[in-house]
Chain A
Amino acid sequence: MSEAEAIAASRVPAGLKTALQRCALAAILLVVWWLVSLVTPAYVMPNPIRVWQRIVQLTASGDLPSNLLVTLLRVIAGFLIAVVIGVPAGLVLGSNRTLGNFFEPVLPVLNTVSSAIWAIFAIIWFGLTPLTPIFVVLMTALPLIVTNVWQGTQAVNADFVELARALRFSRAKTLRKIYLPSILPYFFSGARLAFGFGWRVSLVAETIGSSSGVGYRMRQASDLIQTDQVFAWTIVQIAMMLVIEILLLQPLERRLFRWRRDVRS
């Protein structure tokens, strides 16, 4: 008990220390930004206060939340389609050697295609519709999810499959109780990567092939040389991704994988 308490006691100041370090880093960046903004024109580097006012203004007008939501929904849509196609595809390719060998070259090829190329194809095929960014997110996320699930199936312990056989599990039960939990960590890291990439490429897609969303608004602002707005959109979306990471992904990961040995101790 006393050992556990000692670890807990040493961890709290460590957490506090990290938080202080993060705040200090943010403060330094802000100061540097402000100093640079003093010696440059506003259309090159607007000062932090002006950007903050712009964020407040865009939020108050509803422009910011609605476009943020539009982009987020597109990313989620593309991501979910990638999961729905990619998980079964990865399972099939991982469990069937012949199919796996046959389709193996497809993934590296898909991975080398730049998302800008997907965006151009998407515009040709879907025009300026929401389908364009969704398609680009899908094509970026899909190979990541397939690859990771595929790798996960390779990592399933044959001993556990034998255990399921000795316990007379049906195929469906073996899949659900042995394969899926074994693959979950691989799926999770793939999905996490896919969502992050998906968000970034959705902005690219929106700047060239959409009439709404964060990417579209950023291009519009840059066309009108409203640099303060470009900064405002950038900061808001970074903040959003941080919030998703800290409030959603990290707690989810902790919950799903709490059975893992804690490597910190």
Chain B
Amino acid sequence: MHDERLDVRVTGESAARETAPAITFDAISKSFTRPGGKPLEVLRRVGFVVPRGTVVAILGPSGCGKSTLLNMAAGLIAPDAGSVAVMGRDIAAGTVDWSRVGYMFQDDRLLPWRSARQNVALALEAGTMPSRERIARADAAIDLVELAGFAGAYPHELSGGMRSRVALARSLVGEPTILLMDEPFSRLDAQTRSAMHRELLRIQALRQMTILFVTHEIEEAVVLADQIVVMAPRPGRIRTEVAVTIPQPRIGAAATTALVNELRQSLGEAEPAPENHP
């Protein structure tokens, strides 16, 4: 599906990398072997592209391999067949600059023995940056997520929403060009989650990152993403791709509700929309 590669070889590999999509999944297949069981086919020939500067959601029920895809983009899991490229570089070749790729887990995963500031600075500790600069950048990231004044607090002293902000700051502190998120707000209550969506959109307007995130909630995908990759389970494969063209702010907009309902119907979900109608 990437025949354009043949054309760009003429102009040289580096030029190709400058224009390559942020992330390219090319015919990914993956099976996991459970101990004592048959191999479980998680992904079957999945391919799609995440263009630079866009927000893409992988939407699907549990068991559709969406987290596996995300972890492949993070270089944490290798595909059995197919390839993943980040900024035009094949992950298998080992030349990806991971310092510019941020990752946010499903839970906040803050180290309890570190203050908020130290937790954020942790993301800079793989390299050789001097500690003074790490702390300065961590403080800036904490300011960015509007937690100034809580930099010295320990995780147990913070609310769920604040902890989520610290985790977001940790994934942003390296000034990533690509941000990967694995159902990052799914453990928050509806109100806090909505606040985090606004927060993320505000930061995205400033930073213009490429964001790839995984979710099982249609509304979250519609509110945040430019493009939604809808997955089907067992084995995980792409069902359809939806482009979202509703202008921001989408939270609470009539067009958002309409699209959510439309998707919900076409994807065969019976439950009514949970949001309250004005």
**Interface check A159, CB cutoff 8 A:** yes
Whole-angstrom distance between the Cβ of A135 and the nearest chain B Cβ:
35
A-B contact pairs, 26 of them (CB 8 A): A159-B105, A159-B107, A160-B109, A160-B111, A162-B76, A165-B76, A166-B74, A166-B76, A167-B103, A167-B125, A168-B99, A168-B126, A169-B125, A169-B126, A170-B126, A173-B125, A173-B126, A177-B122, A178-B111, A181-B111, A181-B113, A184-B113, A259-B114, A259-B154, A260-B156, A261-B156
**Interface check B32, CB cutoff 8 A:** no
- 0/1 string, A227-259, CB within 8 A of B gives 1: 000000000000000000000000000000101
- Interface residue total, chain A, C-beta cutoff 8 A: 19
Q: Scan residues 163-188 of chain A and give those whose CB is less than 8 A from a CB of chain B.
A: 163, 165-170, 173, 177-178, 181, 184
A163 touches B125 (CB 8 A): no
Given contacts A159-B107, A163-B105, contact A168 B98 (CB under 8 A): yes
**Interface check B123, CB cutoff 8 A:** yes
Given contacts A259-B154, A261-B156, contact A167 B122 (CB under 8 A): yes
Residues in chain B near residue A173, CB distance under 8 A: 125-126
Given contacts A159-B107, A166-B103, contact A259 B125 (CB under 8 A): no
A159 to B107, CA, bound (A): 9
A167 touches B156 (CB 8 A): no
Residues in chain B near residue A261, CB distance under 8 A: 156
**Interface check B249, CB cutoff 8 A:** no
Closest to B157 in A: A261
Q: Scan residues 59-111 of chain B and give those whose CB is less than 8 A from a CB of chain A.
A: 74, 76, 98-99, 103, 105, 107, 109, 111
Instruction: State which of A167, A169, A170, A259 has its C-beta within 8 Å of the C-beta of B112.
Output: A259
Instruction: State which of A167, A184, A260 has its C-beta within 8 Å of the C-beta of B126.
Output: A167
